[in-house]
Structure 1
Amino acid sequence: MEGNLTKGPILKTLTKLAVPIMASSFLGTLYNITDMAWIGLLGSKAVAGVGVGGMFTWFSQGLASMSRMGGQVQVAQCIGRGDKEEAHKYAQTAVQLATLMGLLFAAVMLLFLHPLVGFFQLQDPEALQAALSYTKIACGLIVFSFLTLTLTGIYTAQGDSKTPFIANFIGLVTNMILDPLLILGLGPVNKFGVNGAAIATVSAQAIVMTILILEIIRQKKQNVLKGIKLFTKIPFKYLSGICKIGIPTAIQGMVYCGISMVLTRMVSGFGAEAVAVQRVGGQIESVSWNTADGFGTALNAFIGQNYGAGKMDRVKKGYKASLCSVGIWGIFITIIFVFQPKAIAEIFFHEPKAIMIAIGYLTIIGVSEAFMAVELMTVGALSGLGKTHLCSVISILFTSARIPLAIILGGALLGLEGIWWAFSVTSIVKGIIFVCTFCWITRGKGTVKMMKLNKE
């Protein structure tokens, strides 16, 4: 079902596309928060173990973004140019690539499970076992997540964000029902603990993927995903086109996660409670960044189509409208985190030490929420212009700075809170730099030159 984003009122068009995507992103946040809330009843050691396992699923999302971002941008630009046949071929290649990468990632994780989990040096046997169990299930069936992300991106490129939202909503309901049943064991269902959380999440992802596939078959209107062939040779032309856009994004996501893994290892020196807080705090924080990323995804498709059609005036106006909307949301999250950290922490933690650490985390991270939201939205905008390389360079450079900054601030100066400040300060800097970069890229004559270079 194709949606033309190159015509009509800009704010109305963008909002119509963005709202379902942001809602889908929020549902993704609820997936994780629901898991953490139930797992929290098992204790901070179980949360720490799942947190470590979650690092690997997060790492996989970086790899999955290669097919998602590459496919979404190429399909959107083809549709903007009116070339539906090329859009279909890019969509098919993206789905094939997602399937292949998902299966390969699962194989590597299962083969090297123990040494990979061992990197985090979890000292507590219970936390270590939880990490191994969760990772085996969640990463072993990660192909469902790879395909869901890529299909969602291609739906969005066509201007259809409603279908992925409905699919994700059904997946969330499934996850919310399965979590207490499988984690704690209710009625005739046995207690599976952290394994139950992994099974619930994977099951929900499989259901979302199935719904997206069935909708392709059901839709009467033309969808570039219709008639794709999974087991055919991947044409080099389309593979290289997707990789050109997607590889920088994938590298950025995986490096970002790799940096977080190093920092998590540093955090583990402060105990299982600190690791649990980092994991849960990140999920709480995703209320902000998932929403911003969702708006960025909408803006990506909007800019991709309008850039393909040569309508740079709509590109600039769409970005300004998005900047205001996402900035306001980020400020709202900052206020909540900074002034109500205890109320939030007590939802997920029941041990005094963990609650105190969580309060410090939320207060410090809260300072940077608006900047982080603007950063993620702007990455989506720049990617829609095909500037994924530039996004990767900026993001990797300043995210990497967290490690030496955490060593300095987390040493003799501030301890654990110094690591939290390393997160916050770099997010503020990145937010400012990304906005300045977009304004510089799209300024006057430079815009015309950029469009000519991209078409060559």
Structure 2
Amino acid sequence: MSNQASPANHILHADIGKTLRHMTVPVLAGMLTLMTFNLVDTFFISMLGTTPLAAISFTFPVTFTVISLAIGLSIGTSAVIAKALGAGDSKEAQADALGALWLATYLVLALSLLGMALINPMFRLLGAGTDTLLYIHDYMLIWFAGAVLLVTPMVGNAVLRASGDTKTPSIIMASGGVMNAILDPIFIFGLGPVPAMGMQGAAVASVLSWTLGCGLIIWLLFKRGLLIGAWQPLAICLPIYRKILRIGMPAAGANMLTPLAMAILTAIMATHGAAAVAAFGVGARLESIASLVVLALSMTLPPFISQNFGANQLQRVQQAYQQTTFFIIRWQFAVYLLLAALAWPIAGLFTDDPEVARFIRWFLWIVPLAYGLQGITILTNSSFNALHLPAKALWLSLIRLFVFYVPLAFAGGKLFGVIGVFAGCVIANIFTAAIAYNWFTRVSLFKLKETV
């Protein structure tokens, strides 16, 4: 892994702002491409009608549960590999990489099989009606069947990012997104010998794009010598599993709390009708684009923090955290102004239903106002995990979602309807961001004093 030494030294010694920009821009480009094509996916499904659009909105909390497990494992993988590289132990990092890939495969396969068996009761619990459930069933059976192909590139990309390479994972993400956008209309509406498959076609397009990403990442990891083979003895892999799970499971749990909260919010929206659910689903996907810089930094800040943590350079950790949080407040406010100004054309792009469009506009006028504060919480979570403090990240997620987010959204919905739900989300992000920033500042100061 000598070819990774230069990025590692750059992370440990170069200017913090320039280093984070250098790491984040490629991630930003890859995520922008991927998320844009995910919105294209929602756009094509919206052309099938309001019921299919509501159906895909119902699937979001469930699919994000599987994705959250993969994100958690990726966080654990990145943290242990980056710390090993920061301490100069490349052989340990190689062994950890292979163990992480197999661990992710086992866990996601088990979760997918459980999900396939529980599709009907699970979505009925979320409030899906019989007509919507038919579309959900068509989509989710295929999605679950291919979920392992989604997770492998995510964990493999975490290995590359931990070593300082953020450009290659971005190319892989973008390639999958482009392929999905090309295949979506072909399989949804049909072309030539390919029959129109509707919702099933959207799932097939996704699985085929994941297959491309999976093949690319495995090939690259072997080519670069980041994997030491295809298998490990049990005596070697079990300690690796424990090490990754010590960070990965709390991180996965924290990430899984988000779709759980989203499921509750979706159920709250369902009490206001299918139009509210459809609008909330569109808003959730637009949020991914609006929070793109936050999400990119949440991938690049942790390897920076973990490598400097491994090298016992905690002042650089503090400085990096403060610089990114201050930047994200300014950036997300500019994003809010743009979304608020474009609310009418954005709503018209996704639906012809006036009620759905009205709710989408209100979402854009209210919820993005607090995306900068939400970004502070997300980056604090990532930073806690990077310092190998996953329990604190988990507690922060619990506080955000179940002390503030869900209760305030529920209360707002009862008092003011759908608009009240949106306002409750904003107030929740204000309280949580204040707690997150103060908590991480105290913890990092304490760790710095321990090293002096």
Determine if the TM-score, normalized by the shorter chain, exceeds 0.5.
Answer: yes
AA of the residue aligned to 1:278: F
2:45 counterpart of 1:43: no
Correspondence for 2:102? 96
2:407 counterpart of 1:407: no
Among 211, 230, 234, the residue aligned to 1:206: 211
Correspondence for 1:377? 379
Correspondence for 1:218? 223
Contact 2:189/2:196 (<8 A) preserved: yes
2:286 counterpart of 1:284: yes
| Structure 2 SS opposite 1:369 | helix
2:13 counterpart of 1:7: yes
Correspondence for 1:69? 75
Q: Distance in 2 between matches of 1:63 and 1:69?
A: 10
Contact 1:54/1:135 (<8 A) preserved: no
Task: Quote how far apart the aligned CAs of 1:407 are.
Answer: 2.8
AA of the residue aligned to 2:411: I
Q: Distance in 1 between matches of 2:34 and 2:388?
A: 26
Distance 1:27 1:448, change over 3 A: farther
Q: Distance in 2 between matches of 1:195 and 1:230?
A: 35
Correspondence for 1:227? 228
Higher deviation after alignment, 312-321 or 231-240: 231-240
2:308 counterpart of 1:303: no
Query: Structure 1 residue runs of 4+, over 6 Å off?
Result: none
2:250 counterpart of 1:256: no
2:136 counterpart of 1:134: no
Give CA-to-partner distance per residue, 1:336-388, whole Å, 9 cap, x none: 22232112111111111110111111111021111112222232222211122
Distance 1:226 1:446, change over 3 A: closer
Alignment of 1:302-381 (within 5 A): 302-381=304-383
Contact 1:78/1:87 (<8 A) preserved: yes
Q: Distance in 2 between matches of 1:17 and 1:371?
A: 23
Contact 1:106/1:142 (<8 A) preserved: yes
Q: Distance in 2 between matches of 1:67 and 1:316?
A: 25
Correspondence for 1:181? 186
Contact 1:25/1:291 (<8 A) preserved: no
Q: Distance in 1 between matches of 2:355 and 2:410?
A: 23
Q: Distance in 1 between matches of 2:212 and 2:336?
A: 34
Task: Quote how far apart the aligned CAs of 1:193 are.
Answer: 1.0
2:58 counterpart of 1:57: no
2:152 counterpart of 1:150: no
Q: Distance in 2 between matches of 1:361 and 1:256?
A: 18
**Which structure 2 segments of 5+ residues have no match?**
none
Task: Quote how far apart the aligned CAs of 1:446 are.
Answer: 4.2
Distance 1:286 1:195, change over 3 A: same
Task: Quote how far apart the aligned CAs of 1:319 are.
Answer: 2.0
Give CA-to-partner distance per residue, 1:261-312, whole Å, 9 cap, x none: 1221121111111111111110001113343121121010001001100112
Identity %: 25
AA of the residue aligned to 2:367: I
**Which structure 1 segments of 5+ residues have no match?**
none
| Structure 2 SS opposite 1:431 | helix
Q: Distance in 2 between matches of 1:140 and 1:50?
A: 17
Higher deviation after alignment, 305-314 or 336-345: 336-345
Correspondence for 1:193? 198
CA RMSD of aligned residues (A): 1.8
AA of the residue aligned to 2:238: F
Contact 2:380/2:393 (<8 A) preserved: no
Give CA-to-partner distance per residue, 1:150-192, whole Å, 9 cap, x none: 1111110000111111111211111111011111223443211
Give CA-to-partner distance per residue, 1:21-67, whole Å, 9 cap, x none: 22222233223201111111111210111111222110112222332
Distance 1:235 1:170, change over 3 A: closer
Aligned length: 444
Task: Quote how far apart the aligned CAs of 1:335 are.
Answer: 0.8
AA of the residue aligned to 1:119: L
AA of the residue aligned to 1:252: A
Task: Quote how far apart the aligned CAs of 1:425 are.
Answer: 1.6
- Using the size of structure 2 for normalisation, the TM-score is 0.94
Q: Distance in 1 between matches of 2:417 and 2:202?
A: 32
Q: Distance in 2 between matches of 1:10 and 1:284?
A: 30
2:171 counterpart of 1:171: no
Q: Distance in 2 between matches of 1:230 and 1:355?
A: 52
